[in-house]
């Protein structure tokens, strides 16, 4: 099954909901960054939340999530947009711990809880929208839930999960976000709260083969979900050799000349996708002419 996301309404329009399968997307991130198990879970949960938050945007809008809880993983950075494209990295990919007493990966220990979750939205205006909240859990699902309630004043629930194999490959990944519309009745809220108490962990449901549509049925019950739209999602980076070349030109002719004289070449590295771009002395000479 390919990764994809669904947008939906539930309970006659009282709930706005998103659900996504991100197994291949998180697998691509793991492959590119060679993350260890706990780092994969932390990055994968953030990528999953990020791609759903991106789906809330329109047109060419995009957002960046930055999480730094003071844990050994360092900072988690994820970019996403309204087209289902997401990319991200962690400062320290080689982080793993023994599982918790409940058999889960210890994401809280990797991320830490002494820090902030920040979301910067670029919606095409001169000033970006920035929302920032303290981390309340380090498990990330609860932290995104807190972000929506506090920074955007939207009562929400965020569930994100990643199952990682012993060899560090990704077995399953996905998640959901649902948000209460104004005037949602206490009866509906109580129904959803009861279902959340008993629902199987989201990553296990994905591993069992449930689609995003079926995830929402697990949450709200059959016949309660109205699917509005589906969209493919993928790990996608917009870096290129040309983009980095433009950045090199921006450094100026003197600095490019220094690279030629000292190393005879230059290498650019993209943090988001781990691609490396090599520029020969001849290519640097051409860039130096542009810089002049």
* Cα–Cα distance measured from residue 290 to residue 278, given in angstroms and rounded to the nearest whole number: 18
**Domain C-terminal end among 216, 235, 254:** 235
131 and 253 co-located in one domain:
no
The CATH number assigned to the domain holding 29 equals 3.55.30.10
Q: Is the pLDDT of residue 101 over 70?
A: no
Q: What is the mean pLDDT of residues 172-176?
A: 97
Q: Is the pLDDT of residue 10 over 80?
A: yes
- The H-assigned helical ranges of 55-166 are 107-111, 141-151
141 and 27 co-located in one domain:
yes
Element (H, E) at 66: strand 62-68
97 and 158 co-located in one domain:
yes
215 and 245 co-located in one domain:
no
Helix axes of 186-198 and 212-220: crossing angle, nearest 10 degrees: 120
Q: How many domains does the chain have?
A: 2
pLDDT-based confidence at residue 23 (cuts at 50, 70, 90)? very high
Range of the domain at 33: 4-235
End-to-end CA distance of the chain: 51
pLDDT-based confidence at residue 189 (cuts at 50, 70, 90)? confident
199 and 247 co-located in one domain:
no
pLDDT-based confidence at residue 276 (cuts at 50, 70, 90)? very high
Q: Of 246 and 98, which is predicted with more confidence?
A: 246
11 and 42 co-located in one domain:
yes
The label of the residue with tokens 């009861």 reads 194
271 and 158 co-located in one domain:
no
The CATH number assigned to the domain holding 259 equals 3.90.1280.10
123 and 265 co-located in one domain:
no
222 and 259 co-located in one domain:
no
Q: Is the pLDDT of residue 186 over 70?
A: yes
Q: What is the mean pLDDT of residues 98-111?
A: 85
Supply the mean pLDDT for the chain. 93
Query: What is the value of pTM for the model shown?
Result: 0.93
Q: What is the mean pLDDT of residues 218-246?
A: 94
**Domain C-terminal end among 235, 260, 279:** 235
175 and 255 co-located in one domain:
no
Element (H, E) at 207: helix 202-207
Q: What is the pLDDT of residue 194?
A: 87
Q: What is the pLDDT of residue 125?
A: 75
76 and 187 co-located in one domain:
yes
Q: What is the pLDDT of residue 103?
A: 72
213 and 260 co-located in one domain:
no
Q: Comparing C-alpha atoms, which of 53, 58, 279 is closest to residue 175? A: 53
């Amino acid at each position: 099954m390919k990764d994809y996301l669904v947008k939906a309404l539930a309970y006659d329009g009282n709930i706005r909901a998103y659900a996504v399968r991100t197994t291949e997307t998180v697998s691509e991130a793991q492959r590119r960054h060679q993350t260890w198990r706990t780092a994969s879970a932390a990055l994968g949960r953030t990528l999953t939340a990020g791609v759903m938050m991106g789906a809330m945007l329109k047109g060419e809008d995009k957002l960046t999530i930055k999480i730094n809880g003071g844990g050994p993983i360092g900072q988690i950075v994820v970019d996403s947009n309204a087209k289902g494209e997401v990319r991200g990295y962690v400062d320290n990919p080689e982080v793993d711990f023994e599982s918790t007493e409940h058999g889960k990966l210890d994401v809280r220990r990797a991320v830490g809880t002494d820090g902030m979750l920040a979301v910067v939205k670029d919606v095409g205006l001169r000033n970006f929208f920035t929302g920032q909240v303290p981390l309340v859990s380090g498990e990330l699902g609860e932290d995104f839930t807190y972000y929506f309630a506090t920074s955007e004043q939207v009562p929400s629930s965020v569930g994100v999960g990643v199952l990682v194999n012993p060899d560090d490959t990704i077995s399953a990944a996905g998640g959901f976000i649902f948000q209460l519309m104004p005037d949602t009745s206490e009866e509906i809220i109580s129904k959803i709260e009861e279902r959340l108490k008993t629902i199987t962990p989201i990553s296990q449901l994905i591993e069992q083969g449930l689609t995003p549509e079926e995830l929402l049925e697990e949450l709200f019950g059959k016949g309660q979900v109205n699917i509005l739209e589906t969209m493919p999602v993928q790990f996608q980076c917009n870096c290129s050799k040309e983009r980095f070349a433009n950045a090199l030109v921006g450094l100026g002719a003197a600095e490019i000349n220094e690279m030629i004289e000292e190393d005879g070449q230059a290498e650019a590295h993209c943090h988001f996708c781990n691609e490396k771009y090599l520029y020969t002395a001849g290519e640097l000479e051409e860039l130096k002419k542009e810089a002049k």
